[in-house]
Amino acid sequence: MQTALLAKVSNKYRRTDLPEIRIGDTIRVHVKIKEGDKERLQAFEGMVIARKNAGLGETITVRKSSFGHGVERIFPLSAPVVDHIDVVRTGRVRRAKLYYMRGLRGKAARLRERE
Amino acid sequence: MIPGILGKKIGMTQVFGPEGQVVPVTLLKTGPCVVTQRKTPASDGYDAVQLGLVEFVKASRISKPASGHLKKAGVDGAKYQRELRLGRGDRDLKPGDRVLVDEFRPRDKVDITGVSKGRGFAGFVKRHHFRGGDASHGSMFHRAPGSIGGSSYPSRVFPGMRAAGQMGSQQVTVRNLEVIEVDADDHVLMVKGAVPGPNGGYVVVRRAKR
């Protein structure tokens, strides 16, 4: 019964509007950014290389290459700052964490598309 | 206003605040409680209510004197009973009155008392955060206390010297926790931060003294 009450809270804050995101997918995350009293969306496009935790604390790590430098951002999936997520491209991978991508660049850092 | 309420810790999780920030919260199953006795200055010398947390208790688990006491308030089972002092601004409660969590509002501040998790007979490092020595490199001094006093002067150990001993399983109060949400249907109170004790442990929620 106690876990049921915890589940009730998690269901209330849980988001259901996000698409299915798999490891290796290239996604575009639209983040709400507040500038003064105005709010705008900023997109961050990159490859999902890790997915951690479960429930309300679930996060994804998105990696992209920006002017030759690797940039990674960790997004909490249930956070309201994430406005929406587009899946740009799928990727076929054989492991859950793609940390080996950090050592690869350019053509070597490509993934085959998932069927 | 009610002075406070009794409850049971459900567990912790996290929610998102209005600005999108992560808020660590503890869920408490608070109430329904029933006033089992009213103490008045005339009869007892002070003003207080005795609350019982209403929950399912096997009849054989309650002694006959206790069940008689509960019956007077019209309660079947209450394992956890605590007394709360009544102060100014508190509602006058009578035996048999129900105390529910819906009298708390988000942004209220509460003090929460519980019995902390028992750590048994704990050493210096765990109990008082002493640093201890190196684990290797021939150190020969690992988790021992070090010097606890001089040999010629004072040639005794000063009272109150921090030492190994029982840690936890003692009453702890955390003050000024913010109420985040109140779920009156399920009698659930959500407060910001951690609450002493294990999940399933009993707690007293009082309005913050400040």
ipTM reported for the complex, 2 dp: 0.73
d(CA B10, CA A104): 46
Considering the domain architecture, whether residues B139 and B74 belong to the same structural domain is answered as no
Contact B20 A57 (CB under 8 A): no
Three-state secondary structure of B118-178: CCEEECHHHHHCCCCCCCCCCCCCCCCCCCCCCCCCCCCCCCCCCCCEEECCCEEEEEEEE
Considering the domain architecture, whether residues B162 and B202 belong to the same structural domain is answered as no
Amino acid B65: pLDDT = 85
Considering the domain architecture, whether residues B97 and B194 belong to the same structural domain is answered as yes
Q: Which residues form the domain of B61?
A: 4-125+171-207
Q: How many domains does chain B have?
A: 2
Considering the domain architecture, whether residues B23 and B98 belong to the same structural domain is answered as yes
Is A42 at the interface with chain B, CB within 8 A? no
d(CA B201, CA B7): 8
Considering the domain architecture, whether residues B163 and B197 belong to the same structural domain is answered as no
Name chain A contacts of B16, Cβ cutoff 8 Å.
13, 56, 78-80
Q: Which of residues 57-86 of A touch B (CB under 8 A)?
A: 57, 76, 78-81
Considering the domain architecture, whether residues B54 and B108 belong to the same structural domain is answered as yes
Chosen from A1, A3, A6 to mutate, greatest number of chain B CBs within 10 A: A6
pTM of the model: 0.79
pLDDT at A83 over 80: yes
d(CA A96, CA A22): 9
Considering the domain architecture, whether residues B81 and B47 belong to the same structural domain is answered as yes
Minimum-distance CB partner of B11 among A2, A78, A79? A2
- The stretch B85-110 carries a mean pLDDT of 83
Contact B13 A78 (CB under 8 A): no
Cβ(B78)–Cβ(B50) below 8 Å: no
Chosen from A2, A11, A59, A83 to mutate, greatest number of chain B CBs within 10 A: A2
Residue type at B15? V
Alpha-helical segments (H) within chain A: 2-13
Percent helix, strand, coil in chain B, to 5, is 10, 40, 50
Considering the domain architecture, whether residues B24 and B86 belong to the same structural domain is answered as yes
Tell me phi and psi for residue B128, to 5 degrees. Answer: -125, 10
Name chain A contacts of B101, Cβ cutoff 8 Å.
none
CA distance A55 to chain B (A): 9
Considering the domain architecture, whether residues B108 and B156 belong to the same structural domain is answered as no
Considering the domain architecture, whether residues B75 and B90 belong to the same structural domain is answered as yes
DSSP state of B43: H
Amino acid B117: pLDDT = 94
CA end-to-end distance (rounded Å), chain A: 42
The 10s digit of each residue's pLDDT in B5-59 is: 999 999 888 888 887 888 999 999 987 888 888 888 888 888 888 888 888 888 8
- Give me the sign of the Cα torsion angle B204, B201, B31, A7: positive
Amino acid A2: pLDDT = 57
Name chain B contacts of A55, Cβ cutoff 8 Å.
13
B197 against A11, higher pLDDT: B197
Amino acid B25: pLDDT = 92
pLDDT at A1 over 70: no
Considering the domain architecture, whether residues B55 and B141 belong to the same structural domain is answered as no
Minimum-distance CB partner of A56 among B13, B186, B199? B13
Q: Rounded to 5 degrees, what angle do the CA atoms B146, B149, B150 make?
A: 115
d(CA A107, CA A111): 9
Check which CATH number belongs to the domain holding B12 and give it: 2.40.30.10
The 10s digit of each residue's pLDDT in B133-158 is: 999 999 999 998 888 989 999 999 99
- The stretch B112-137 carries a mean pLDDT of 93
Q: Please report, rounded to a whole number, the percentage of residues in chain A having pLDDT higher than 90.
A: 41
- Give the residue on A whose Cα is nearest the Cα of B185: A5
**Virtual torsion, Cα B87, B92, B96, B100, nearest 10 deg:** -70
Considering the domain architecture, whether residues B37 and B89 belong to the same structural domain is answered as yes
Name chain B contacts of A13, Cβ cutoff 8 Å.
15-16
**Pair of tokens at residue B30:** 């608070």
